[in-house]
Chain A
Amino acid sequence: MKIPVDRKYSETHEWFLLEDDTATMGITQYAADELTDITYVDLPEVGAKVSTGDAIAEVESVKATSEIFAAIPGTVTAVNTALTDHPELINDDAFDEGWMIKIKVDSNASLENLMTAKDYASFLRNSA
């Protein structure tokens, strides 16, 4: 499984890609594969304030419903509305087309406590 090195990862299988002051987030391909076919995505309102650890979205598959957690504080600036009609985009391409939320991160917030791609890969190996 390919794990992009340009971003950071949480233990709850979200990815965060920080560009300037905006973090794009989604769930990892591993999470998407484990959930199997995703049937519904509940996204936050644009403009919503989020704090680290908040459950800000929900992904529903034929197998399970999972909460999606923010790992960085900030304000939601965009959500991937294509997912409303095509939640399968997450299964098809979790790291790109299946992105979920863009967050304008609060100043001096960082992704330092998240895992690198290498750490996440070994995290997956150890938890499997």
Chain B
Amino acid sequence: MTTMMTERSKMILPDSAANGDCEVSANAAAAGNAAPMELRENKLLFEKGSPGLCGAALTESDVPKVRRESAIPRELLVDAPPALPELGELDVVRHYKSLAHKVFSIDENFYPLGSCTMKYNPRINERVAFMPGFAAIHPYQDEADLQGILELLYRLRTYLAEIAGLPEVTLQPAAGAHGELTALMIINAYHRSRGQNRHKVLAPDSAHGTNPASCTICGRDALSIKSKSNGRVDLDDLLAKVDEDTAALMITNPNTTGVFDETIADIAEIVHAKGAQLYLDGANMNAILGKTRPGDFGVDCMHYNTHKTFSTPHGGGGPGAGPVAVAEHLRPFLPVPQVVKRNDGSFGWDSDRPQSIGKVRSFFGQVGVLVRAYTYIRSLGCDGLRDVAEKAVLNANYLAARLKHKYPMPFPPPYAHEFITVPDFHDSGVTELDLAKRLIDYGIHPPTMSWPIHHCLMIEPTETESLATLDQFVEVMLTIADEVDRDPNLVKNAPHTMPVKRLDEVAASRKPNVRWKP
């Protein structure tokens, strides 16, 4: 199995993939060699090791011993120490190395995941974030000792304001969805300051699921606005639904179908005419960086996803950052404390904002992530950021143009940074799920699937991929289309090269077994 894993690191062309299939079955047949290997690799740390093994030799403690009964209340004491795995250092290193090899990442493979902008994270981001002046500081240190990081945060918020075309930014929110929630709280506070309590928040039917979720968490009712057949907002439906009880319209532009809605100024006018706010989900800022600014097309409030637009790591639930930019009339409601530059040129925190919604994150947000976003912006500069948008859009349109004869696209080009195809292989019974699984065999991460429209694939190459990689991807997609014609079962039963094949998702959902027990 180990040999099969290494094949993922490149896009395998059809012949070698077919060989790969044979090798898997050959391995399975030669169970004598392959099986013990596989067993060892799939064990948990808790199943490895043996009593008494240890990774470190500790010296005798020079702290006087205390009877545990005298230090800890009896009812909190357990009879036996916890059943922790006992292993040597080398075993632990091998265990985690083996897991690391199984991780699919942008550092190894093409990752055209629409809507998520899986761009490469330049190494310089890590280098800067690990500088002791940023990595070895503590938020309780005196402000005078933190001038470097404070200046960085201050500059970052001014850059993000400039890119948004909006006057002020908060860096506190810890993720994009947290940014949405923060923005909705700001919008609520704004309406309340005018003696209004507006209950409705609108979002197009192509919106990210986080939009209605954020509304609900914020105690507002989410309402869906229809899209037209060209992927743009249906203005008639918007006109019918927006009213004096509407707090905001949450819009993504370019939207999740990969099209830039040119009617955005009309949308802003319709929304503002009812006193509602226009909120931009900044998920797709990659396509418009330095080209147009949300503040210039009528947006009152927006969030950034630093992991999508500014190459900070995709956390898998780990640390993120979702800075929020607001228009002049929303500034009084921004979270406190805000990082400021004082008259004497020093940097510090300001909490004097009586109408603020308060604090939305402990300390100052995910500072380590913000350092990476800052580094990305500074290493590219204005022209570089504009170039990001141009290349992201060019790459997507190049792929679309080369794939369109085999992969029908429901919305007409030009596209922004991503596009949607609804593959039409119905006669063979091959679905978008099968295509996604087959891409894994070629070392490509499956694109976003079945959303925002039924049976689609949403492809986003990002600006970080070379022409050679894009051409290889096209070749793989066209090869798979041929495979569907020639041998649909090859595609329906994919992946063939992975240590696990199709998981029983139904059993996993109906009878989840989420805890390992000895």
Residues 22-63 of A, flagged 1 when their CB comes within 8 A of B and 0 if not, give 000000000000100101100000000000000000001011
Tell me whether B510 is interfacial, beta carbon within 8 Å.
Answer: yes
- Min Cβ gap A32→B in Å is 14
Tell me whether A87 is interfacial, beta carbon within 8 Å.
Answer: yes
- Cα–Cα, bound, A62→B509 (Å): 7
- Cα–Cα, bound, A77→B376 (Å): 60
- Cα–Cα, bound, A87→B505 (Å): 14
> Are B505 and A62 in touch, CB under 8 angstroms?
yes
Interface of chain B, main secondary structure = helix
Q: How large is the interface on B (under 10, 10 to 19, 20 to 34, 35 or more residues)?
A: under 10
> Are A62 and B450 in touch, CB under 8 angstroms?
no
> Are B454 and A37 in touch, CB under 8 angstroms?
no
Contact residues in B for A34 (Cβ distance below 8 Å):
454
> In the complex, how many residues of chain A place their beta carbon closer than 8 angstroms to a beta carbon of chain B?
8
> Are A40 and B510 in touch, CB under 8 angstroms?
yes
> Are B506 and A37 in touch, CB under 8 angstroms?
yes
- Cα–Cα, bound, A35→B450 (Å): 11
> Are B509 and A39 in touch, CB under 8 angstroms?
yes
Residue of A nearest to B455 (CB): A34
- Cα–Cα, bound, A63→B510 (Å): 13
Contact residues in A for B505 (Cβ distance below 8 Å):
37, 62
Contact residues in A for B454 (Cβ distance below 8 Å):
34
Contact residues in B for A37 (Cβ distance below 8 Å):
505-506, 509
Chain A 56-90 residues near chain B, CB threshold 8 A: 60, 62-63, 87
Contact residues in A for B450 (Cβ distance below 8 Å):
63
- Min Cβ gap A3→B in Å is 19
Residue of A nearest to B505 (CB): A62
- Min Cβ gap A34→B in Å is 7
- Min Cβ gap B438→A in Å is 19
- Cα–Cα, bound, A75→B60 (Å): 72
- Cα–Cα, bound, A128→B510 (Å): 30
- Min Cβ gap B325→A in Å is 31
Contact residues in A for B509 (Cβ distance below 8 Å):
37, 39-40, 60, 62
Residues 477-518 of B, flagged 1 when their CB comes within 8 A of A and 0 if not, give 000000000000000000000000000011001100000000
Residue of B nearest to A86 (CB): B510
- Cα–Cα, bound, A37→B509 (Å): 10
- Min Cβ gap B505→A in Å is 4
- Cα–Cα, bound, A37→B510 (Å): 10
Contact residues in A for B506 (Cβ distance below 8 Å):
37, 39, 62
Residues 80-104 of A, flagged 1 when their CB comes within 8 A of B and 0 if not, give 0000000100000000000000000
- Cα–Cα, bound, A60→B510 (Å): 10
- Min Cβ gap A10→B in Å is 15
- Cα–Cα, bound, A87→B506 (Å): 11
- Cα–Cα, bound, A37→B506 (Å): 7
Residue of B nearest to A61 (CB): B509
Contact residues in B for A60 (Cβ distance below 8 Å):
509
- Min Cβ gap A65→B in Å is 9
Residues 451-462 of B, flagged 1 when their CB comes within 8 A of A and 0 if not, give 000100000000
- Cα–Cα, bound, A34→B450 (Å): 10
Residue of A nearest to B503 (CB): A62
Contact residues in A for B510 (Cβ distance below 8 Å):
39-40, 87
Residue of A nearest to B451 (CB): A64
- Cα–Cα, bound, A40→B509 (Å): 8
- Min Cβ gap B385→A in Å is 36
- Cα–Cα, bound, A69→B505 (Å): 26
Residue of A nearest to B507 (CB): A39
Contact residues in B for A62 (Cβ distance below 8 Å):
505-506, 509
- Cα–Cα, bound, A87→B509 (Å): 11
- Cα–Cα, bound, A39→B510 (Å): 5
Of A34, A39, A60, the most chain B CB neighbours within 10 A belong to A39
Residue of B nearest to A87 (CB): B510
- Min Cβ gap B212→A in Å is 11
- Min Cβ gap A114→B in Å is 19
Residue of B nearest to A91 (CB): B506
- Min Cβ gap A15→B in Å is 20
- Cα–Cα, bound, A40→B506 (Å): 10
Chain B 415-454 residues near chain A, CB threshold 8 A: 450, 454
Residue of A nearest to B510 (CB): A39
Residue of A nearest to B454 (CB): A34
Residue of A nearest to B449 (CB): A63
- Min Cβ gap A56→B in Å is 16
- Cα–Cα, bound, A81→B456 (Å): 35
- Min Cβ gap A120→B in Å is 17
- Min Cβ gap B256→A in Å is 15
- Cα–Cα, bound, A40→B505 (Å): 13
Of A37, A60, A87, the most chain B CB neighbours within 10 A belong to A37
Contact residues in B for A63 (Cβ distance below 8 Å):
450
- Cα–Cα, bound, A60→B509 (Å): 9
Contact residues in B for A39 (Cβ distance below 8 Å):
506, 509-510
- Cα–Cα, bound, A118→B253 (Å): 38
- Cα–Cα, bound, A10→B506 (Å): 28
- Min Cβ gap A36→B in Å is 9
- Min Cβ gap A104→B in Å is 27
- Min Cβ gap A60→B in Å is 7
- Cα–Cα, bound, A87→B511 (Å): 12
- The contact sample of 15 A-B pairs, CB cut-off 8 A, is A34-B454, A37-B505, A37-B506, A37-B509, A39-B506, A39-B509, A39-B510, A40-B509, A40-B510, A60-B509, A62-B505, A62-B506, A62-B509, A63-B450, A87-B510
- A: residues with CB less than 8 A from B are 34, 37, 39-40, 60, 62-63, 87
With A37-B505, A62-B505 known, 11 other A-B pairs at CB within 8 A are: A34-B454, A37-B506, A37-B509, A39-B509, A39-B510, A40-B510, A60-B509, A62-B506, A62-B509, A63-B450, A87-B510
Shortest 8 CB-CB contacts between residues of A and residues of B: A39-B509, A62-B505, A37-B506, A39-B510, A62-B509, A62-B506, A39-B506, A63-B450
